[in-house]
Each structure stands twice: as C-alpha cells, then as structure tokens.
Amino acid sequence: MNIDSINNGIVLDHITAGKSMQIYKLLNLDRLDCSVAIIKNVKSSKMGRKDIIKIDEAIDVNLDVLGYLDPDITVNIIRNGVRIQKLKLSPPEELVNVISCKNPRCITTTEPQIPQIFYLSGEDKPVYRCRYCDSERK
C-alpha cells in the first residue's frame, strides 16, 4: 500500500479503530475536493489497532466533533511537508448541533430551528446532557 505524504494538510492520528468512517461523515470530508486517505486497523504499539485520516488540504476541522467522538485523537497540522502543530484533544464543555436530543418531549423535537445544545457532565466518563430537557447522551 502506498499513501503519499502530505505537503499541506491535516493528519488525524490515534483514532480508535473503527471510528474513522463516523468522523469522515460528521466532518463532511466527502465534500472536499482534495485527497482524503482513511487507513483502518493500523497496528499500534500504544493502542493495539488504530485508524488514521490524512487530509491533503489545509482546512478548518471541528475540534469539538473530534473531542466528542474520540478525545484521544491527535491532530497534526502539516505545512510544507513538516508538522508545525500537534493538538491533543479533550471532551468539549459544550456541543452545538453535533448531536441531537432523543427525548420526544424536548423543545428541540417540536421546534427544529432551535440549536441542539449539550453540556458536559459526569466526573469519571464524559456524559452530555441536553441544555433544554437535561436528557443524557453518551
């Protein structure tokens, strides 16, 4: 397998094995007019198996989506073939229009123009709660 190196773009590394397609869809990477490589089930001494996504264009990536889906992802910013920045993620304090409330009685169900806002709660593991009805979302 031969995957070219990136000159200017982003490499999402340390993705939990099997989550790369979910990230691809939520970040709307299918709409890009550049090369996007998804490498699944790569051997990793640290994780056992992992996924990697390489985006061959300098784009803005929604770090809240990445932090929600997999806070262990490493975001590498590449310029002129050199990594200039390495970002470690954590679960975001607030999510806006990333996930939706499943409570049929929530105001967001009957009023779809209202933003879907969730806040982080939980000490041990991240749990998100709807700002309007307090329903839980993991």
Whole-angstrom Cα distance, residue 132 to residue 101? Answer: 9
Residue 16: per-residue pLDDT: 92
Q: Which residue has the tokens 């470690």?
A: 88
- Residue ranges of domains in the chain, CATH in brackets: 9-88 (3.30.70.140), 94-137 (2.30.30.20)
Whole-angstrom Cα distance, residue 8 to residue 136? Answer: 39
What does the pLDDT look like over 84-124, one tens digit per residue? Answer: 999 988 889 999 998 999 999 999 988 989 999 999 997 67
pLDDT greater than 60 at residue 131: yes
